[in-house]
Structure 1
Amino acid sequence: MKSFAYFLGKAIDYLEKICMTGSVLSVIFMMLLVTADVTGRKFFGQPIPGSVEINEEYLMVTMVYLAMSYVYIQGGHVRVTLIRRFLPQVFLKVIDPCLNALGLAFFSLITYFGWQKTATALKFKETSSCILAFPMAPAYFLLTLGAALLCVRIIESIVQPAKIKWEEN
């Protein structure tokens, strides 16, 4: 019989794949929107209203935050490895969990305050300052979701360090 942790892990993997798909789609949509905006501006003298704000406030947030946990689990985040190769393994076994704990604390704060901001935006019906005045709560929620998924992956890397595919260059 499979444990609860197994099913929870599979659910997180599935949610992470959905988030990564959303991130990739946001890059594609960003490319299409910028192309259409530039084309409209150059050839017709008519840019797409709110396209810059949509890119800044939705698509970039989606692209970055929804991909963070996947990039982390693949070992793709920036690491300073120049000094690591000269440090003894015993030291690295102590320092890596400490650095992970600092990352967890940082992204836990982002998750907490992101959730607070999402709730506030929902309560007060916060909208973008652009002409379209689209709601901001979904963008804040996507930020919170991405940071929360990264927190889960950092906890997972503390408990199971071998799961992360770190490459030493």
Structure 2
Amino acid sequence: MQTIDLFLGRIGRLLAFLASLCLVVMMFQICLDVGGRYLFGKPMPSTLEIVSDWWMPALIFLPLLNVEWRNENIAVDLFYQGLGPKAQALLDAFALICFGAFLALIAYAGFEQALRAYRQGEFIVGMIPVITWPPRFFLPVAGFLTALLCLVRAAGAVSRAASSQTQNSDQ
């Protein structure tokens, strides 16, 4: 399980790096668009379409695995801190299974939409045609990988709960 967790962590860092590259390219493209519009009266063609259909989905979905791997999702732990280690581990497992199942369902629906877009060769006609089907796969890929990480970590939490029970019974 530890090996899978570390492997998913590496993939998460790679996806987060790709998202940061997308951010830099997006900023550069917007600067060129604004500069071209106000300095030369010629904006970059289809900037709005490219930003909204390529760069924004990349910024939203690609870092998802890295955020979960680093345990940086928002958590409210009002009662959690007062529980014992076994109860915390079981609660962790429950939350991870619920989050993983939610992500798997969302990723599955996104995968169906991405396949439909791929089959149709989806694109938007702006100043220039912009192919829009490839970024449709950002959500399913990131969602499935993050769901897998959640399941791996849920198994680890169940293992922690079982080991804390055996430690308590030994004492």
Q: In which range does the TM-score fall when normalised by the shorter chain?
A: 0.7 to 0.9
Match of 1:156 in 2: 152
1:121 aligns with 2:121: no
Structure 2, unaligned runs of 5 or more: 158-171
- The answer to which of 41-50 and 22-31 deviates more is 41-50
Aligned residues between the structures: 157
Match of 2:18 in 1: 22
Q: CA RMSD in A?
A: 2.4
Identical amino acids, percent of aligned pairs: 19
Task: For 2:21, give the aligned amino acid.
Answer: L
SS in 1 for 2:124: coil
Q: TM-score under structure 2 normalisation? A: 0.79
**CA 1:39–1:14 in 2, change beyond 3 Å: closer, same or farther?**
same
Task: For 1:154, give the aligned amino acid.
Answer: C
Match of 1:74 in 2: 70
1:1-169 to 2 correspondence within 5 Å? 11-81=7-77, 83-84=78-79, 87-89=82-84, 91-161=87-157
Q: TM-score under structure 1 normalisation? A: 0.79
Do the aligned residues in 1 keep the contact of 2:9 with 2:66 (CA within 8 Å)?
no
Relative to its length, the structure with more helix (as a share) is: 2
Do the aligned residues in 1 keep the contact of 2:49 with 2:130 (CA within 8 Å)?
no
| CA radius of gyration, larger in | 2
**CA 1:96–1:137 in 2, change beyond 3 Å: closer, same or farther?**
same
**CA 1:104–1:38 in 2, change beyond 3 Å: closer, same or farther?**
same
Task: For 2:129, give the aligned amino acid.
Answer: A
Match of 1:166 in 2: none
Structure 1, unaligned runs of 5 or more: 162-169
Displaced runs of 4 or more, over 6 A: none
